[in-house]
Amino acid sequence: MTDTAWIDAALTSARPQAVGALLRYFRNLDTAEEAFQNACLRALKSWPQNGPPRDPAAWLIMVGRNVAIDDIRRSRKQEALPEDAAISDLDDAEEQLAERLDGSHYRDDILRLLFICCHPDLPATQQIALALRIVSGLSVKQIARAFLVSEAAMEQRITRAKARVADASVPFETPGAVERTERLSAVAAMIYLIFNEGYSASGDTAEIRSPLCEEAIRLARLLLRLFQSEPEIMGLTALLLLQHARSAARFDVDGAVILLDDQDRLLWNKGLIAEGLALIDKAVRHRRSGPYQIQAAIAALHARAEKPEETDWTQIDLLYGALEIMQPSPVVTLNRAVAVSKVRGPQAALDMIEPLEARLSNYFHFFGVRGAFLMQLGRNDEARTAFDRAIALANTSAEAAHIRMHLDRLQRDSQPRGKKAK
Amino acid sequence: MLYAILCYHDEDTVGSWTKEQDAAVMTKLAVVQEKLAKQGRLGPVARLLPTTAATTVRKDDPPLVLDGPYAETKEQLLGFYVVDCKNLDEAVDVARELGAANPGGAYEIRPVGLLQSGSLEQ
């Protein structure tokens, strides 16, 4: 890597810890961010000459804090400041600070920073944008691109979110055990949202949006390092890794969705799968199940099957059953029905989803799945009606294109035999 | 004399490499490895999964199983095993068995992401 590449990587990985600590000192997001930016500028000057500090985060916190305090003093006294010399000899200071950055402070600093972004008053899209800007340090331009909106619109969204967060009171004292657990679960949900924002992309935008998935994985890993014994955080991280592992196989060259059964499994990322499986394995030992772990276990069963026909659908059906009890939702039942169709056939699956229609009457996947079951049962006219409805409800062109493929197949099948042979 | 060369790096930094950056590093490393392999001097090479996937067995009595990597600095790395296990439970059992034979210290269990068997001449 070039000189600046290693510095960039070090600044990126130190960011959550450094901004989190600076926020604890200054109790103001803007001041903390500005202090971090200033520290980065000094790092770009100092590190290439002096080499990387032993603890980059501690260096950035110390320098950021000094510069910000100087700024505050200067604005009060309007006096000239001592130049860089005052902060050039940081060795001792760094050592002291590194000692003070004990595990618990460090954990709670980062958790607080993430938690601020999940403020319940903020709509999900603002939470995500704020986290990507503040915690991940992505530029407004990068975030706007991933969200497929203009830079100005994203700038405004982030500014609004920040203003709302600034008005809210965020507790700065060390959280108690219950509060810490609550924060952790809010933050996990937000990380999952970031991932979904990238994962639900259609084929033509998948590449632009995949940084969102990568960033979510980075944040999940960070959270897991801070909370090493939380099985649900292991589950969340595993789930994201296992889903992201399939990204290269999810769309065809025209950007149409390729379903799991039809994906080229050689394109799946084996490294991510290995890591995901290892994390599930670790989580299971805690015998404290949860929604992320179950979803990850389902993804793991798919990942373990080298061919679609080797998939353990019976186990997947059982896992969805457990998820239905834990987190009842028509969408979970719909997913379970797909497993049921493989284990007990399309009629049993269809019976299972019929009662859901009232609640899923505007849900693309409901009609796509229903159409597929009807088609398997040979009820082609009804299947066509369901597919038409699905196309009308499709969120992306890729979804619509996928359903049209089914319709084309129905069309072919219904033609006279003589013609079909051609 | 055989030498073990242990790889240390900041996993945050390595983890934030893009797929292309990671692949570029691996390609450059492969050149060095191939040279050694042709000379029959390269033993097994392993790339471990991140420490988030690690589990530690403290060889106390009874042994204590902890999530996460081995974090103490008062003991030193003295050796390692590569064992084929069906799952983490089995790996923990192996570590316990080894620990009973040699109490004190700890074993850190890390899943191996990539293993090449090497080409050592006997």
Residue B40 confidence (pLDDT) above 50: yes
Q: Based on the fold, state whether residues A88 and A148 are members of the same structural domain.
A: no
Q: Is residue A134 part of a domain?
A: yes
Q: Is residue A194 part of a domain?
A: yes
Q: Based on the fold, state whether residues A251 and A217 are members of the same structural domain.
A: no
pLDDT at A97: 53
Q: Based on the fold, state whether residues A73 and A154 are members of the same structural domain.
A: no
User: Averaged over A364-378, what is the pLDDT?
Assistant: 95
Q: Is residue A383 part of a domain?
A: no
Q: Based on the fold, state whether residues A68 and A19 are members of the same structural domain.
A: yes
Q: Based on the fold, state whether residues A86 and A132 are members of the same structural domain.
A: no
Q: Is residue A386 part of a domain?
A: no
Q: Is residue A207 part of a domain?
A: yes
Residue A87 confidence (pLDDT) above 60: no
Question: What CA–CA distance (Å, rounded) separates A337 from A271?
Answer: 30
pLDDT at A77: 66
pLDDT at A312: 97
Tokens 């670790």 — which residue? A282
| pLDDT tens per residue, range A348-362 | 999 999 999 999 999
Confidence of residue A205 (pLDDT cuts 50, 70, 90): confident
Q: Based on the fold, state whether residues A43 and A121 are members of the same structural domain.
A: no
Name every chain B residue with its beta carbon within 8 A of the beta carbon of A271.
113-114
pLDDT at A1: 46
Residue A85 confidence (pLDDT) above 50: no
- Chain A contact for B44, CB < 8 A? no
* Min distance A398 CA to chain B CA atoms (Å): 26
Confidence of residue A121 (pLDDT cuts 50, 70, 90): confident
What integer best gives the mean pLDDT of chain A?
A: 87
Q: Which of A227, A243, A267 is the last residue before a domain boundary?
A: A227
Select from A178, A150, A128, A137 the least CA-distant residue to A20.
Answer: A137
> Nearest residue of B to residue A273 by CA position?
B113
Q: Is residue A189 part of a domain?
A: yes
Q: Based on the fold, state whether residues A189 and A258 are members of the same structural domain.
A: no
Q: Based on the fold, state whether residues A79 and A181 are members of the same structural domain.
A: no
User: Averaged over A113-133, what is the pLDDT?
Assistant: 88
Question: What CA–CA distance (Å, rounded) separates A334 from A360?
Answer: 9
User: Averaged over A80-90, what is the pLDDT?
Assistant: 49
Q: Based on the fold, state whether residues A106 and A197 are members of the same structural domain.
A: yes
Q: Which of A227, A248, A280 is the last residue before a domain boundary?
A: A227
Rounded to two decimals, what is the model's pTM? 0.86
Q: Based on the fold, state whether residues A118 and A182 are members of the same structural domain.
A: yes
Among A13, A274, A282, beta carbon nearest to B55:
A282
Question: What CA–CA distance (Å, rounded) separates A193 from A352?
Answer: 28
- Chain A contact for B52, CB < 8 A? yes
> Nearest residue of B to residue A276 by CA position?
B53
Question: What CA–CA distance (Å, rounded) separates A136 from A233?
Answer: 18
Question: What CA–CA distance (Å, rounded) separates A349 from A362?
Answer: 20
Q: Is residue A339 part of a domain?
A: no
* Min distance B120 CA to chain A CA atoms (Å): 26
Q: Which of A276, A303, A330 is the last residue before a domain boundary?
A: A303
Q: Is residue A317 part of a domain?
A: no
| pLDDT tens per residue, range B63-91 | 999 999 998 888 999 999 999 999 999 99
**Predicted ipTM?**
0.88
Which range marks the domain in which residue A55 is found?
3-101
Q: Based on the fold, state whether residues A10 and A112 are members of the same structural domain.
A: no
Residue A111 confidence (pLDDT) above 70: yes
Domain count for chain A, please give it: 3
Q: Based on the fold, state whether residues A191 and A81 are members of the same structural domain.
A: no
- The upper half-sphere exposure of residue A304, i.e. CA atoms within 13 Å in the direction of its Cβ, equals 17
